[in-house]
Structure 1
Amino acid sequence: MTNSPHPIGTPSAPVPPPGCPAHAHGTGRTRLLESDVPPQELHERLRTEHGSVVPVLLPGDLEAWLVLGYQEIQHVLRHPKQFSCDSRNWTAVQLGRLTPDNPLRPLTEYQPLVAFADGDEHTRLRAAVAASLEQFSRHGMRRYVRHYTNQLIDRFAASGRADLVADFAEPLPAMVLAKQFGIPADQAIPLGRAVRDMVRGTPTALESNTFVVRAMRDLVHTKRAAPGKDFASWLLAHESALSDVEAEEHLRHAMVAGVENTVNFVANTLRVALTDARFRGNLAGGTMPLWEALDHVLWQAPPLALIPNRWATDSVVLGDQRIEAGDMVMLALTAGNRDPRIRPDLSESMQGNRSHLAFGGGPHQCPGQDIGRGIAETGIETLLGRLPDIQLAVPETELPIETSFISSPLGALPVAFTAREPQPRGSGAAPAPEAQQVPSAASPSPAVPSSPAAPRRRSWWASLFGRRI
């Protein structure tokens, strides 16, 4: 390998000689999914051994590149002509090496979604999604967040104990997004529960997926016949002229991504607030506004830790590695946020700094990121305001972390606080009558399985991009 660094993303241009490890496809590669080392620790070790771009081996002996460097990740995100989202460019797909039973298949198999589209098709689909999201009333959404947050707190306030994942972080985004999507309030909790069941990859995950798909199909049918002021109606009315199938897929995509990422975002922020005394003190003392504190959390623990779907369209040098056309390139967002070239001191606060990688970048940057931030900020602010003495009920080391290929979500967050009576009826701003009451999370729903304790088997990305049923 040459001693001098190559420009990031240089096509063709001086490349490592054939004897260099960069050409050692299938040899000297780390088996990424067969290590017992926690992802963050593994990534730092690989950074020390290989630099910012690492040769790895995936299930089925499929070769790939894991990008750990902040600048290199930004380059991939900002250059879709060099690095496509369309998995049909993958050599493994073209050669038939991606077998039906490979666990990568649900994450990578092409779907008619904006997340897999490039060029004009991406522009058309993203225009519909982005324009529809822009019509959300941010003020109205925050009003609903406060209302639903207070209702959720009222359920456990008198007990003095709660699990802030199951009792708060999970139901809140489902309720808010259902309202914004035009989904009836009584379907929100069952739908959110089905999404989370899909994410966990339980034995009933496929049944849950069927429930979500049918819910989105029914929503499209309803809104075609009687449009309203909601995301589904705006998506269908957009000049991009989405077909019913395209609308169903993008509604499902947005619901799964919105619920799962926001749940992780809320849970991660609460975990930091409850375990980092300096962080909590800065919030309580007013020296760090919550909206700035959220950025610190997004630097430390982004809801999505890895983006697996990029494929090189031509030979290119990234970092000091030569990547060939058709190679798979995966972006380790958490590792990029911890790149010592941009963050030599990880203890330094990143509050107010929004140059993190948590929402991606380039033309595929998350179009609904401010919606997730709004839910997290308003919900957490309301929660901490009502329960100012809330404390972690177990040692931090006992918090369950569910490690998967692309994220490490918090499984539970048990807390204790001074028991309080529920708020008097009518306190705070009240939403429209049809959404006054949050359905009970325990309410029966025959179409949705109830096995949340089953072990995680598939990542949420797999559920998000898996085949429709």
Structure 2
Amino acid sequence: MTPERHSLTGTGDPLLEPPPGCPAHGLGPGGLRRLHEADDLDELYQRLREEHGPVAPALLHDDVPMWVVLGHAENLHMVSTPAQFCRDSRIWTPLNEGMVKPDHPLMPHIAWQPICSHAEGDEHKRLRGAVTGAMSTIDFRELRRHIKRYTQRLVNRFCEEGRADLISQFAEHLPMGVMCHLLGMPDEFNDRMVEAARDTLKGTETAITSHAYVMDALGRLTAARRARPENDIAGHLVTHPAGLTDDEVREHLRVVLLAAYEATVNLIGNVLRVVLTDPGFRAQLSGGQMTVPEAVEQSLWDEPPFSTVLAYFAKQDTELGGQRIRAGDGLLLGIAPGNVDPRIRPDLSAGMQGNRSHLAFGGGPHECPGQDIGRAIADAGIDALLMRLPDVRLDCDEDELRWRSSIASRHLVELPVRFEPKAQQEVTQQPSHAPVPQQRADWHVGIPQPEPSAPPAPSLPPEPVSVAAARPQPVAGPESPRPRGAWQRFLLWWRGY
């Protein structure tokens, strides 16, 4: 006999497996839809909204039941009511009933960890206070200078070639370079660190080795800051009055590094794709009707870096969006579907400039503490890139672009572009597509400017000029200039006259 499953709909009815060969595509026990089998999650979320309202039942891998919160208001209520919902998966009924195996594909996202994003109460205040305290020391004016310099370095790698992939050569490198600097390990930033972070997040066969590489770097950083604190995030975590252990410091550095990296890579890629494929959007940006920060904010509405967050858990029996939620039920924070809730966005084509009420960074006690860092990297990085490459254009048909999708996020795989080859620029210079201006002549107030000499006749070679003749000669008579002052005489002596 087929075993009964936990009833997600709260009716008490058992969820029976469909008979073998059932033609219902993407449907699991009880007729619930499997999220991981959907070809188009946005379309599935819309269908769930029509069938169930702002909160809908669905299935994860291995037919594990989970609520999907689709409404904007319902998502905000869930994340802002810690008395009813928390991030502690240890109370999750399917996990306690053995339905979620240790090798479940989503366990890395759901498994409880001793970090601030999973803690509650006083422990949450202690850990979260250390993280926000460390981030509050960031000088954003200096941060933007570093972002522009990293952008200059990255663009210098490919600017002379006239073509590039803005995902693998730009979007995946800029956030890592900036985050390594902020955490206090700029020397660790290299292609290997970028590859290790990317591999860790993809969950490939080598993900464990890549994760170990990242953790080794963070462990060495923690030990170094424990011995000698410095003015960076790692140093402030070590010295914070909350008294974090080395393990707690290292774990929170990992969360900050990987979460900021993943979110910002997706954000940069999404904004650049729209700039390159939507002429109206680019015209607004180029014409001054929209700033780069406003373009970034629009992208956070339309294509948030994380489409869902796994997961929140009900601490008690409650009601949400007209659904009966039982203690121990799991709920997905539906960022992408919440951002297109027709109750707050009846016209999706309307611009959202000036409106930051999207769900891209969550909300409530667990709202993303590094959201301003992500915004700064995207704002300054994209602006600097477009200053260097104003003629950049897509090097393929738009329908050839490919994504790698999961329940949690949607990644643009490549973004090939072309542009007129550009010369490299000094890293410390302000990004610009124009040639570097010629340095001003060595001239000071009080010294007569030399008269511009006429160019020699084409048919006659210039006559040689001796060094003595090049020096200023005294002029007698009524046309003589007034005597030079001491400072002028010193300058002439300094120049060898």
TM superposition score normalised by structure 2? 0.80
In 2, are the aligned partners of 1:23 and 1:322 still within 8 Å (CA)?
A: no
Question: How far is 1:30 from its partner?
Answer: 2.6
Q: Report the secondary structure of 2:404's partner residue.
A: coil
Matches within 5 A, 1:103-252: 103-252=105-254
Distance 2:8 2:35 in 1: 27
| Corresponding position: 1:338 with 2:320 | no
> Which segment drifts farther, 366-375 or 416-425?
416-425
Larger radius of gyration: 2
Q: Report the secondary structure of 1:126's partner residue.
A: helix
Between the aligned residues of both structures, percent identity stands at: 44
Identify which of structures 1 and 2 has the higher relative contact order when contacts are C-alpha pairs closer than 8 Å and 6+ apart.
1
1:461 equivalent in structure 2: none
Question: How far is 1:34 from its partner?
Answer: 4.3
In 2, are the aligned partners of 1:29 and 1:55 still within 8 Å (CA)?
A: no
2:62 equivalent in structure 1: 60
2:269 equivalent in structure 1: 267
Question: How far is 1:354 from its partner?
Answer: 0.4
1:86 and 1:29, CA in 2 relative to 1: closer, same or farther beyond 3 A? farther
Question: How far is 1:128 from its partner?
Answer: 0.2
**Partner letter of residue 370 of structure 2?**
G
Distance 2:428 2:92 in 1: 57
1:20 and 1:147, CA in 2 relative to 1: closer, same or farther beyond 3 A? closer
In 2, are the aligned partners of 1:309 and 1:328 still within 8 Å (CA)?
A: yes
Distance 2:30 2:99 in 1: 20
CA RMSD of aligned residues (A): 1.8
Question: How far is 1:25 from its partner?
Answer: 6.1
**Partner letter of residue 398 of structure 1?**
E
Question: How far is 1:401 from its partner?
Answer: 0.5
2:396 to 375, 394, 397: 394
**Partner letter of residue 180 of structure 1?**
L
| Corresponding position: 1:314 with 2:316 | yes
In 2, are the aligned partners of 1:21 and 1:28 still within 8 Å (CA)?
A: no
Distance 2:189 2:213 in 1: 11
Question: How far is 1:101 from its partner?
Answer: 2.3
Partner deviation per Cα, 1:246-267 (whole Å, 9 max, x = no partner)? 1110001110001111111111
1:78 equivalent in structure 2: 80
1:20 and 1:216, CA in 2 relative to 1: closer, same or farther beyond 3 A? closer
**Partner letter of residue 48 of structure 1?**
E
Distance 1:197 1:85 in 2: 25
1:361 and 1:140, CA in 2 relative to 1: closer, same or farther beyond 3 A? same
2:462 equivalent in structure 1: none
Question: How far is 1:28 from its partner?
Answer: 3.4
In 1, are the aligned partners of 2:8 and 2:65 still within 8 Å (CA)?
A: no
1:437 equivalent in structure 2: none
In 1, are the aligned partners of 2:292 and 2:383 still within 8 Å (CA)?
A: yes
1:383 and 1:91, CA in 2 relative to 1: closer, same or farther beyond 3 A? same
In 2, are the aligned partners of 1:391 and 1:417 still within 8 Å (CA)?
A: yes
Distance 2:103 2:8 in 1: 34
In 2, are the aligned partners of 1:69 and 1:335 still within 8 Å (CA)?
A: yes
Distance 2:408 2:422 in 1: 39
2:94 equivalent in structure 1: 92
Question: How far is 1:67 from its partner?
Answer: 0.6
Distance 1:88 1:391 in 2: 49
**Partner letter of residue 143 of structure 2?**
M
**Partner letter of residue 57 of structure 1?**
L
In 2, are the aligned partners of 1:296 and 1:352 still within 8 Å (CA)?
A: no
| Corresponding position: 1:352 with 2:354 | yes
1:343 and 1:420, CA in 2 relative to 1: closer, same or farther beyond 3 A? same
Matches within 5 A, 1:253-292: 253-292=255-294
Distance 1:289 1:20 in 2: 45
Distance 1:335 1:426 in 2: 42
Distance 2:336 2:36 in 1: 19
Question: How far is 1:60 from its partner?
Answer: 3.1
1:19 and 1:371, CA in 2 relative to 1: closer, same or farther beyond 3 A? closer
Distance 1:61 1:157 in 2: 49
1:50 and 1:24, CA in 2 relative to 1: closer, same or farther beyond 3 A? farther
Distance 1:126 1:172 in 2: 26
Distance 1:117 1:145 in 2: 32
1:446 equivalent in structure 2: none
In 2, are the aligned partners of 1:173 and 1:259 still within 8 Å (CA)?
A: yes
Partner deviation per Cα, 1:142-191 (whole Å, 9 max, x = no partner)? 00110110111111111110100011101111111101111033544422
Partner deviation per Cα, 1:23-58 (whole Å, 9 max, x = no partner)? 556353534344232111111111111111111122
Q: Report the secondary structure of 1:147's partner residue.
A: helix
Partner deviation per Cα, 1:119-144 (whole Å, 9 max, x = no partner)? 11111110000010010111111001
Q: Structure 1: which 5+ runs fail to align? A: 1-17, 430-469
Distance 2:62 2:8 in 1: 25
Q: Report the secondary structure of 1:114's partner residue.
A: coil
Distance 1:115 1:348 in 2: 34
1:34 and 1:367, CA in 2 relative to 1: closer, same or farther beyond 3 A? closer
Distance 2:253 2:217 in 1: 10
Distance 1:267 1:195 in 2: 17
Question: How far is 1:276 from its partner?
Answer: 1.3
1:386 and 1:221, CA in 2 relative to 1: closer, same or farther beyond 3 A? same
Distance 2:8 2:110 in 1: 31
1:419 and 1:216, CA in 2 relative to 1: closer, same or farther beyond 3 A? same
2:48 equivalent in structure 1: 46
Partner deviation per Cα, 1:300-320 (whole Å, 9 max, x = no partner)? 000011011210011111111
| Corresponding position: 1:297 with 2:299 | yes
1:426 and 1:291, CA in 2 relative to 1: closer, same or farther beyond 3 A? closer
Equivalent residue pairs, number: 412
**Partner letter of residue 284 of structure 2?**
N
In 1, are the aligned partners of 2:153 and 2:427 still within 8 Å (CA)?
A: no
Distance 2:306 2:427 in 1: 38
In 2, are the aligned partners of 1:220 and 1:232 still within 8 Å (CA)?
A: yes
1:426 and 1:330, CA in 2 relative to 1: closer, same or farther beyond 3 A? closer
Question: How far is 1:386 from its partner?
Answer: 1.3
Partner deviation per Cα, 1:90-112 (whole Å, 9 max, x = no partner)? 11232333222222322211110
2:406 equivalent in structure 1: 404
**Partner letter of residue 244 of structure 2?**
L
